[in-house]
A and B are shown apart, each in its own frame.
Chain A
């Protein structure tokens, strides 16, 4: 397992909220669910490029703020019947710190 980089403390992301990380691979949205799980997605909706980080988080999904597509946080897949996929990034929680893997 290589390429892990510290992002921020978990407390710096609101529950059911997100933060944006600027990276060489583009903006990455880091989400925090109600159950304090964290996920990373390319901050670009597969539909029309909306910033997923600005959407409403619910369950393990986020609703894009532009046109309402629901994107699964685990796999980046649009919830059926919508189609499309946002690139996922591995994110983990370690002692209250959020880590992101950039390959």
Chain B
């Protein structure tokens, strides 16, 4: 079949992102032709500011080199402006007469800078700030002239002014409004920004309206004249010198071509939610577009549009673009500033404000009906990504409200170790402690590889890809490096992995509703993009299937991480560790002798106590594991789950059995709990502790379930975490008897097992669903609680000791054995 022809008018970031997304979905569907008016391949327009500031070169910011077009069979016309669309003959015509026919046409003509309609605006030395040509001219002028005036105190104008100042010019920013960046900042934040920029030597003239640009003797612009304001003092002077005038007073969607083709335009080419114009063969994306009456000038929304457009061009027909919430970061090195959403507030909104002028920190959060609708941050922007996420997700913040202003560190998993100023961190500061990645490495990768998302950065640098505690900081570095192009992933809708577009929530729900029982059936029903998934989705699917349908869905060992497949904990050298079970932490001299014998027999190099107060035998070869377990089994012992997404240990203090302060028999309670939960799989690891009195020697306050004995019974705490980010467990309820402790604990864990997302700890799960939701199911409704308890017992009733299976079943034991070959018998 002959390929259809796709013509793209506009070789910029939106158009080429749409082509890239299309090639991912349907690489062979179209013959693609691209027209670009500039004589360059697609480059990262956002990074023109660092080029101007001398931090990067043009070559650094090319996104798609010419080879990319060739590799993908794309015909590229650079330096050719399309001047006509013939919708009847379905062809476009360029200024030089080049013609291309199309079956589908994509308009990505971008925007044009708004040039103030004042006398002298066409003088040499008066330019806009839009493309490589403008940037080159600014760099050249800075080398030969002194006075620069930037008209417009918005994002673009300030970046231009900063760059020119760094290039040695004397720079004045002229702004019509009473404060800078009025579309992104409130007055307080803008004044702090202004003071900081003034300290760098920039000058500002606010509330000044330009009357004319005046030429000098050479014919070049020489000065700028302002209109006298009401109450003008003649002593103030109305003119300042200007060898270079940069107009940064806004952009206008470039609709000239579309209008000439009589496509409906209204402050932009009007498109529907599928990015289609009024001519169904013609699509449009980017700054030239008006979607639901809004023309976007930041890159993040344009990328969202590109993705939707590609989906329709590929004939998938399922994506919709419904508009974007935008956020802003100023790309001026060393200044931390962030805003998002409706930061000005207004009727029906409340404001939560922190204003420390001397300390250079300002935070304003705008709240409406228990949701965050906007934020402005100056000086400390570490939580910008988090606030933006809350705005985008529309999450109910009622429970967080009193702590919201203090940031994620106070309410959830922040863990950025007090570092809150990403932009002012030095390049050599370590950001990711797990993988040893410094800020400079991240910034370099973002710039040289053209990275736009957290996932991109994780893949290329490994920063925040291990424990994840530096995620917020990496997001901030990303935001301060690429500014408005940055958009945090939508946590609610985030796909499980690259193999699917479905989120954890949707996958869980579908498995339940459709009664899916196997991984292949689930992948088939949910249109997985890969034949057998990946190391991220298969373990998740396996967990969802067996936790949703216990007794029906069959466990798939090949979809488990090695530790759960080998039932021991893999170490850096490929050996394993074994942690013999000690129920509740109790042991006997006889058991200790068995452990000592094993350690000697298998030449275990290291023996130590684990964090859960058990004995760890480290450095056992995989082929020896079944033998170790056989020796344990012969002594009536069993190994421990010290490695899995499962119950780990129940830590206990000595309690009323021995302790003079003990009020409850905590060791006995711990043993009961650990025995009840034997073999329980869960979304992530689960740790328990039981203390015999409020002195809490078992550290129950940082466990997934912490039980604290008091004279009248037990207090139960849930969702604590002692790991990456210490999280104090929350009080769930108080009960009287040991059986009640078992029932409530089991009910909570079963709720988590049924509703938690894979790799979500209890603290994250409870933060997502709210403690009220947990209490409603576990505490206030006895029927629900009993049903949850019964379901957990049902799921655990047939759990087979995996270590005994590895010892006794030859088919299982086989997987531990190394195959020996006789190389002497090699045949030819």
Residues of A whose CB lies within 8 Å of any CB of B are 1-8, 12, 14-17, 19-24, 27, 30, 34-35, 48-51, 54-59, 63, 65-68, 70, 81-82, 100, 102
Contact = CB atoms under 8 A, between A and B. Distances in A.
B369 interface: no
A21 B704 CA distance: 41
Given A23-B823, A24-B823, A56 B561 contact: yes
B566 A56 contact: no
B535 interface: yes
A83 B574 CA distance: 21
Interface string B536-557: 0011000000000000000001
Interface of B: 449, 459-460, 462, 465-466, 530-535, 538-539, 557-559, 561-562, 565-566, 570, 572-574, 622, 814-815, 818-823, 825-828
A34 B524 CA distance: 15
Contacts of A23: 821, 823
A20 B821 CA distance: 11
A34 B534 CA distance: 12
A89 to B, nearest CB: 12
A22 B817 CA distance: 10
A66 B561 CA distance: 10
Nearest to B499: A58
Contact of B826 (A3, A15, A19, A82): A3
Contacts of A49: 573-574
B427 to A, nearest CB: 21
7 contacts: A7-B819, A7-B821, A8-B819, A19-B819, A65-B561, A65-B570, A67-B466
Contact of B535 (A8, A34, A51, A56): A56
Contacts of A24: 823
B828 A59 contact: no
Contacts of B823: 5, 23-24, 102
A21 B819 contact: yes
Nearest to B449: A81
A48 B462 CA distance: 14
Contacts of B535: 55-56, 58, 63, 68, 70
B818 A22 contact: yes
B562 A57 contact: no
A37 to B, nearest CB: 12
Given A34-B532, A59-B532, A5 B825 contact: yes
Contact of B818 (A2, A6, A27, A82): A27
Which of B566, B574, B814, B825 has the most CB atoms of chain A within a 10 A radius of its CB? Answer: B574
Given A58-B532, A66-B572, A17 B558 contact: yes
B539 A59 contact: no
Nearest to A35: B531
Contacts of A5: 821-823, 825-827
Contacts of B819: 7-8, 19-22, 30
Contacts of B466: 67
A48 B825 CA distance: 33
Contact of A63 (B449, B534, B822): B534
Nearest to B576: A54
A22 B821 contact: yes
B274 to A, nearest CB: 32
A58 B530 contact: yes
A5 B535 CA distance: 31
Given A19-B819, A34-B532, A70-B534, 6 more contacts: A12-B814, A16-B559, A23-B823, A58-B530, A59-B534, A68-B465
